[in-house]
Chain A
């Protein structure tokens, strides 16, 4: 079992292949790994309540153990604030991300 931090900076509208990263996150979790899925930049567009492709919702149904975080600055930058944050997504920040990265056993992957 390993600890993973998957950082998703892309969104499913501009990039058609973001689904692969969500699927890998789910598969890693289902295989028994600890997975944190960190949304940043346009990656946070999936954290807006009411998004049509429901990427985060599908990820959490497939692998409830995946912890989904979203960068507070990126959310605020796009006015995804207050009640607009999708359920299951926790607002986080770069401070927490650095804490996650500064562990030698963690596998950190940016997409």
Chain B
């Protein structure tokens, strides 16, 4: 049984100033620490799995944001590191996000499948 299901739902709150999403980041750190971890993107966080996000070009007070967040590639990096990344199918369709917009390596799950997904993990970290 996989260990931890880490659920990310808030999205784009402070990601510019942090240069990333802090829960995706924390989840990757926990994975690197040896955890058996899966991620579930739900609500607005399903948008993190959309290809082509571009937060470049900001400069404030003459200070450039030279390293903007790259949330789509951060999701792919998690998948590459062996983390199964789930997204809620209905949360995608509610937002008008098509399958062709998603990054590779994403696993879709229906809302009706969430209870089983929870049950399939030892612990659920609902951020």
The interface of chain A, by Cβ under 8 A from chain B, is: 11, 13-14, 41-42, 45, 48-53, 73, 76-79, 81, 84
Contacts and interface: CB of A to CB of B under 8 A. Distances in A.
A47 B58 CA distance: 22
Rank and list the top 8 A-B pairs by shortest CB-CB distance, nearest first: A50-B96, A79-B52, A51-B96, A52-B94, A48-B96, A79-B50, A77-B55, A79-B53
A96 B52 CA distance: 25
Interface residues of B, number: 24
Contacts, number: 58
Interface string B16-50: 10000000000000000000000000011001001
Contacts of A73: 55, 57-58
B106 interface: no
Interface of B: 10-12, 16, 43-44, 47, 50-55, 57-58, 72, 91, 93-98, 101
Contacts of B47: 45, 78-79
A84 B95 CA distance: 11
Contacts of A52: 93-96
B19 to A, nearest CB: 13
A79 B75 CA distance: 14
A52 B93 CA distance: 7
Contacts of A45: 44, 47, 95
A73 to B, nearest CB: 7
Contacts of B50: 78-79
Given A13-B43, A45-B47, A77 B95 contact: no
B100 to A, nearest CB: 11
13 contacts: A13-B44, A13-B91, A13-B94, A41-B12, A45-B44, A52-B94, A76-B53, A76-B54, A77-B53, A77-B54, A77-B55, A79-B54, A81-B54
